[in-house]
């Protein structure tokens, strides 16, 4: 993979001048597509899904603090998980809101760092390399996310299933998390959006709506979001494959 402007700028930036980073890990969903099971507490090869997501940021040298956002009824279980896995960077656990956007805002309210990385608690296989790339791009551009190319042909349809168009998949990307932003920039964009903020399910869309460019960096096909029961089986297979092939290049690059 060729060296990018992001990598050059990051290499030339002394470590002491790099911006401080907070990670907001959002795990406040209802898990309706998991048949009522709390997916964040399901064991993934022996370790709960949410614990693996938090540990990815606990082990990253750029991350100063972690804030977890979860359902009110899950706070005690998250506290127990944090103690068990010694997630010492986690400084706050806050109850989420009625929508994902509201949950993110509750986490951001406790941030004081220059950059914030927002991550789905149900993406337990995020790698340090992906976090690196997103933070590097956010440091340079103010707004960044990771994404992978679309493999399948995509069709746009009407409500009855009739095909309306076939977008060129060469320009399409599947966006993942983390998504990282200048905290000041994100907060101002959220204020400008007002009530429209609650309808957004993606953090990049907040900056897009404000007219600020968001840059994508290579993600990883293994960085899946656990949404349905079959995703757990896939995540376990990906985790075990990654452990047995540690030297392989990440998928999606």
Q: Tell me, what CATH number does 32's domain have? A: 3.90.550.10
Residue 28 contacts residue 109 (beta carbons within 8 Å): no
197 pLDDT band (50/70/90 cuts)?
confident
Range of the domain at 65: 19-147+173-244
Q: Is residue 155 part of a domain?
A: no
2 pLDDT band (50/70/90 cuts)?
very low
Model confidence pLDDT, tens digit, residues 73-91: 999 999 999 999 999 999 9
Q: Is residue 53 part of a domain?
A: yes
Look at residue 155 and give its three-state secondary structure.
coil
Q: What is the pLDDT of residue 12?
A: 47
Q: Rounded to whole angstroms, how far apart are CA atoms 18 and 151?
A: 35
Residue 203 contacts residue 103 (beta carbons within 8 Å): no
Single pTM value for the model: 0.89
Q: Is residue 156 part of a domain?
A: no
Q: What one-character DSSP code corresponds to residue 166?
A: -
Q: Is residue 77 part of a domain?
A: yes
Q: Of 239, 241, 251, 242, which is closest to residue 52 (Cα–Cα)?
A: 239
Q: Is residue 10 part of a domain?
A: no
Take residue 186 and report the two structure tokens written for it.
């994100």
Q: Is residue 69 part of a domain?
A: yes
- Block residue for tokens 């030339």: 12
Q: What is the pLDDT of residue 30?
A: 65
Q: Would you tell me how many other CB atoms lie within 10 Å of the CB of residue 39?
A: 26
Max intra-chain CA distance, the chain:
57
66 pLDDT band (50/70/90 cuts)?
very high
Q: Is residue 7 part of a domain?
A: no
Look at residue 97 and give its three-state secondary structure.
coil
252 pLDDT band (50/70/90 cuts)?
very low
Higher pLDDT: 248 or 76? It is: 76
Take residue 33 and report the two structure tokens written for it.
């597509």
Q: Mean pLDDT of all residues in the chain?
A: 90
Which segments of 142-228 does DSSP mark as H helices, in order?
183-193, 204-209
Q: Is residue 250 part of a domain?
A: no
Q: What is the pLDDT of residue 132?
A: 97
Q: Rounded to whole angstroms, how far apart are CA atoms 94 and 114?
A: 20
Residue 199 contacts residue 101 (beta carbons within 8 Å): yes
Average pLDDT of the segment spanning 23-33 = 80
Judge whether residue 246 has pLDDT over 90.
no
Residue 212 contacts residue 184 (beta carbons within 8 Å): no
Q: How many domains does the chain have?
A: 1
Model confidence pLDDT, tens digit, residues 86-127: 999 999 999 999 999 999 999 999 999 999 999 999 999 999
Q: Would you tell me how many other CB atoms lie within 10 Å of the CB of residue 129?
A: 14
């Amino acid at each position: 993979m060729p060296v990018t402007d992001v990598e050059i700028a990051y290499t030339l930036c002394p470590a002491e001048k790099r911006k401080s980073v907070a990670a907001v890990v959002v795990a406040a969903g209802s898990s309706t597509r998991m048949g009522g099971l709390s997916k964040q507490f399901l064991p993934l090869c022996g370790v709960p899904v949410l614990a693996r997501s938090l540990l990815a940021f606990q082990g990253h040298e750029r991350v100063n603090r972690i804030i977890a956002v979860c359902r009110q009824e899950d706070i005690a279980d998250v506290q127990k998980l944090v103690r068990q896995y010694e997630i010492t960077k986690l400084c706050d656990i806050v109850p989420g809101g009625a929508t994902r956007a509201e949950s993110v805002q509750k986490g951001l309210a406790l941030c004081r760092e220059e950059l914030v990385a927002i991550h789905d608690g149900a993406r337990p296989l995020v790698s340090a390399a992906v976090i690196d790339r997103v933070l590097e791009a956010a440091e340079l551009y103010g707004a960044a996310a990771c994404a992978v190319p679309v493999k399948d042909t995509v069709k746009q349809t009407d409500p009855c299933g009739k095909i309306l168009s076939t977008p060129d998949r060469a320009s399409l990307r599947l966006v993942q998390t983390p998504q990282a932003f200048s905290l000041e920039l994100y907060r101002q964009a959220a204020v400008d959006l007002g009530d429209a903020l609650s309808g957004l399910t993606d953090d990049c869309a907040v900056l897009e709506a404000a007219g600020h460019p968001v840059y994508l960096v290579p993600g990883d096909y293994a960085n899946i979001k656990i949404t349905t029961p079959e995703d757990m089986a896939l995540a376990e297979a990906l985790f075990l494959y990654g452990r047995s092939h540690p030297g392989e290049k990440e998928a999606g690059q």
